[in-house]
Amino acid sequence: MNWFGRVAALYDSKRKDFNWRLAADGIIHHHNGLVFDRAAYMRRVREGGAAAEKAVHDSETALSRFGFKFLGRLGHGAQLLDAGCGRGGSSLLLAARYPRLAIKGFTLSSYQAAAARTAARHRGCQDRVKFRRGSMLALPARAGSFDAVWACESTEHVPAMKDFFMETARVAKAKARLVIIAWVRNAGHRLGRKYAALADRAYVTKIHAERDYLEGANGTGWELTRAEDLTGPTAAYWAGRAALKSGSGTESFMAPGFASRALLYRLYAYRLKK
């Protein structure tokens, strides 16, 4: 099986999984959370059961909402590409926030695309929020289609970031925004390779170093406008996950990976110069 087949197989297999279990509100996240008040969060986690799961889920929703602020204005008629949409969590939150925004989400997993379509139908936004199986590195979209691109924890699966930047620049409109949220290998940390390798094995990723997000965009039209370091607030989130009675099984290396800063959690915002 090739690389993309392996990524698709991973997400096809994740059904009644950890992320699904947390999603009492029907919004299934496949990404880290952000915790700004660690003491209050840990109190909720220590309560255990549904309270703990809600605390973790709420912090994941907080990450989405934090990231949305970097997408710029999404007024009437705006089109957003959700590049690597999972089961549609971010798109559905965006659709609720921007009632006239049209969204197209792509995932490599046919199961995820179908699950996201069902979720959109349940929320009554299926006419403007569409999900398809397809690669964000070869999009079935015309040049200059999108006002904004959202890529939350999907670029870790991309073998060469240049391919991602070039394809998203092709389908984006002039002055479009791109927001990437990603696990990043800390190239200057002695444990960077160790923790990136552990995550890569578990999640079928190729975690990139920071320069891939900075230099990778050079010459593609995307210009970096902001870089946020979210490592501290996500290390706090993973500390809560490590204290859960039953998690996903990856907490044993993800929690120390972020706590030690061998892995970084970054948000990069870009604007298309065309």
Ligand X SMILES: C[S@@+](CC[C@H](N)C(=O)[O-])C[C@H]1O[C@@H](n2cnc3c(N)ncnc32)[C@H](O)[C@@H]1O
Contact residues for ligand X, defined by CB under 6 A: 7, 11, 29-31, 84-86, 89-90, 106-109, 112, 135-137, 152-154, 157
Residues with Cβ within 8 Å of 70's Cβ and at least 6 positions away in sequence, in order, are 177, 179, 226, 267, 269
Closest to ligand X by CB, 13 or 46: 13
Closest to ligand X by CB, 59 or 112: 112
What sign has the CA pseudo-torsion 14, 16, 17, 21? positive
What sign has the CA pseudo-torsion 69, 238, 27, 141? positive
| Closest distance of CB 241 from ligand X, Å | 15
Q: Is 6 helix (H, G, I), strand (E, B) or coil?
A: helix
Q: Are strands 102-107 and 146-152 parallel, antiparallel or unpaired?
A: unpaired
- Tokens coding 68: 């949305």
Closest to ligand X by CB, 43 or 201: 201
| Closest distance of CB 176 from ligand X, Å | 18
Closest to ligand X by CB, 157 or 185: 157
For residues 161 and 265, give the distance between their C-alpha atoms in angstroms, rounded to a whole number: 17
| Closest distance of CB 147 from ligand X, Å | 18
Q: What amino acid occupies position 11?
A: Y
| Closest distance of CB 202 from ligand X, Å | 12
Closest to ligand X by CB, 103 or 152: 152
Closest to ligand X by CB, 107 or 220: 107
For residues 179 and 226, give the distance between their C-alpha atoms in angstroms, rounded to a whole number: 9
For residues 52 and 247, give the distance between their C-alpha atoms in angstroms, rounded to a whole number: 11
One-character DSSP codes across 197-244: HHHHHHHT--PPBHHHHHGGGTTSSEEEEEEEE-HHHHHHHHHHHHTS
Closest to ligand X by CB, 59 or 135: 135
| Closest distance of CB 18 from ligand X, Å | 12
Q: State the alpha helices, DSSP H only, in the chain.
A: 3-13, 18-22, 38-47, 49-68, 89-97, 110-123, 161-171, 192-203, 210-214, 231-242, 251-259
